[in-house]
Amino acid sequence: MTRIVVPDDFPIAISGTPAEQSLRSLGDVAICTERGADQEAELIRRIHDADVVLNIRGYTRFTANVIAACDRLRLISIWGTGTDNVDFAAARVRGITICNTPGVNARAVAEHTVALMLAVARRIPSMDAGVRAGEWPRGLLVQLEGKALGVIGLGAIGSRVAMLASAFGMRVLASTLDKDDGRAAAVGAAHVPLETLLADSDFVSLHLRLSEKTARYLDEARLALMKPSAFLVNTARAGLVDRDALLETLRDSRIAGAGLDVFHEEPIRADDPLLRLPNVVLTPHNAGSTAEVIDRGLHQAVENIRTFLSS
């Protein structure tokens, strides 16, 4: 019987759901609901005898060492879009198939992106805290209408963000790694070089996959192109931005602020300098955590396993 392991159902996502019932119809299933899959040795212990792994959390890293220790492993089915937690070269050598659920969370993440734009531009968290503390904070706020949004990456999420921004009356600029092929125009955006986007945008939103090509895509030089009044929003991957350069840029108010749902270390450490910056709004990498996304995504991840096993 096929051995299927979910090594990282923490916090719980699949346990007790209809998707779990579907998964159990496909083989001998073990679901681990305790923290620990972020540790290499523990992950190996959990999946060393697995034929199939259903990966729930991005903190689970399928390194070359992990893959080498799992002789039976044939498939890693990822719940979500990101695949940067898998060593593809090691998986390729072993003939392991990798699949994900692209686009399932696109609308939810796009909504969260706009929410972060509003939260940081309108200073909603700090004003809420002030009112609760008996203060009556005033001051001018920033509205979206009439501003320029720069969208870097026009996949399912970036394209949806562009469409939502247009509804706010924003002018949308777009930059892509590959040829545009009319994608920008299709969502009401103007395709421009990255340097132009950074210099002209009032908000910059990242929607690229993390890879060797895109790691530290926004480095010190590129961050320096942004307006002092501009805001950066990242609901993609923290590694797309040079961490030290971002901290210095925010500390020195070279940009107005940032809305971040992703971090270079997750969960974020209690002593992380980001926590002390007043011009940053932070959420715990949960932009796509809605009931609708969880339901559709888990079922798709299970169906990917079903398709693989029946082929």
Instruction: Give the whole-angstrom CA distance, residue 221 versus residue 219.
Output: 6
Active-site residue (options: 107, 266, 296, 303): 266
Single-letter code of the amino acid located at 188: G
pLDDT, tens digit, 9 for 90 and up, residues 73-83 = 999 999 988 89
pLDDT, tens digit, 9 for 90 and up, residues 176-210 = 999 999 999 999 999 999 999 999 999 999 999 99
Q: Is 34 a catalytic residue?
A: no
pTM above 0.85, yes or no: yes
pLDDT value, residue 97: 98
pLDDT value, residue 139: 92
Q: Is 132 a catalytic residue?
A: no
CATH architecture for residues 3-104+290-310: 3-Layer(aba) Sandwich (3.40)
pLDDT value, residue 48: 98
Instruction: Give the whole-angstrom CA distance, residue 113 versus residue 80.
Output: 17
* Torsion from C-alpha of 193, 197, 200, 201, nearest 10 degrees: 170
The CATH class, in words, for 106-282 is alpha beta
pLDDT value, residue 85: 94
Active-site residue (options: 160, 171, 183, 285): 285
Determine whether 37 is exposed, middle or buried from the number of CB atoms within 10 Å of its CB (0-12, 13-18, 19+). Answer: buried
Q: Is 266 a catalytic residue?
A: yes
* CATH topology match: 3-104+290-310 vs 106-282: yes
Instruction: Give the whole-angstrom CA distance, residue 90 versus residue 39.
Output: 18
Do residues 88 and 71 touch, judged by C-beta distance below 8 A? no
Active-site residue (options: 171, 222, 237, 299): 237
Do residues 79 and 54 touch, judged by C-beta distance below 8 A? yes
- For the chain, the domains span 3-104+290-310, 106-282
Q: In sequence order, what are the residues at sequence separation of 6 or more whose Cβ sits closer than 8 angstroms to the Cβ of residue 31?
A: 5, 6, 9, 14, 15, 20
Residues (pLDDT < 70) of the chain are: none
